Chains A and B, each alone.
Chain A
């Protein structure tokens, strides 16, 4: 049985949806950040599947840039999380509601 680009696209759709559900439903900010990593991995899988499909290396270059942005996002996000925990004493996203009225 031949594994084509379509198989990778369906898999990356599933990964994207699982990550999205994690972002929408979890209360713990650490796990929300992990779900964002899942979403970015789904995007990378798509880019590399199409890079293979066209026999062209540009998709892999963009995947490298996505990984760079993911690293920066994780570092800054976890820094914010530590500052938040120090000031508010909680890591639950819906308890951080001082902008709500």
Chain B
């Protein structure tokens, strides 16, 4: 019962924040709505017993990416962009495509449990004697060590790329 209350609270936060992110006129309002949405997703991670990702979501998304977004919004003058039309001409076309894709996914979700037989939910208690962070560390640094190292190269490329993009031409 308490589970359901928390789930619906966080789901409502996520969806309302997402809708406001997409529909608000001012980019700062969009960014703040996105923070609400990301907080809701973080709460859902906690409900799913992914504590490490909950902390990562707060620190990286809300602390890192959103500050970057707000920084760029302040840096780039959006005042005159806010005076112009915010939506392009394909609003109804996009809405139709969204409805079609959504109906398709929901149809598969409703009917597909027999088409795509999932194994029964495993005994969740199997990882509960070691903590979530320990389990992630054991898997990340043992089974997925090479992807982890490749991700560090990706971040290096992103650092160099963004500095080169954003610096003033000499």
Residues of A within 8 A of B (CB): 1-3, 5-11, 13-22, 24-28, 30-31, 33-35, 37-38, 41, 44-45, 48-49, 51-58, 60-61, 63-65, 67-76, 78-83, 85-86, 90-94
Contact = CB atoms under 8 A, between A and B. Distances in A.
Q: Name the prevailing secondary structure of the B interface residues.
A: helix
Contacts, number: 229
5 contacts: A38-B22, A57-B139, A61-B144, A72-B154, A91-B81
Interface residues of B, number: 87
A82 B19 contact: no
Contacts of B168: 86
A14 B76 CA distance: 31
A7 B162 CA distance: 38
Contacts of B126: 55
Given A3-B7, A21-B95, A72-B155, A57 B136 contact: yes
Contact of A18 (B15, B49, B147): B15
Interface string B129-141: 0001001100110
Contact of B127 (A24, A57, A93): A57
Find the residue from B57, B69, B76 having the highest chain A CB count within 10 A.
B76
A79 B88 contact: no
Contact of B21 (A17, A25, A34): A34
Given A27-B88, A30-B27, 18 more contacts: A1-B4, A8-B44, A11-B15, A15-B14, A19-B18, A20-B94, A38-B22, A45-B44, A52-B50, A55-B124, A55-B126, A61-B139, A63-B50, A74-B65, A74-B69, A75-B159, A78-B69, A80-B165
Nearest to A21: B98
A31 B31 CA distance: 8
Contact of B98 (A3, A15, A17): A17
A30 B72 contact: yes
B72 A81 contact: yes
Interface string B94-111: 110110011001100100
A63 B53 contact: yes
Given A24-B90, A79-B166, A34 B121 contact: no
A45 B143 CA distance: 22
Given A15-B15, A18-B22, A20-B98, A51 B61 contact: no
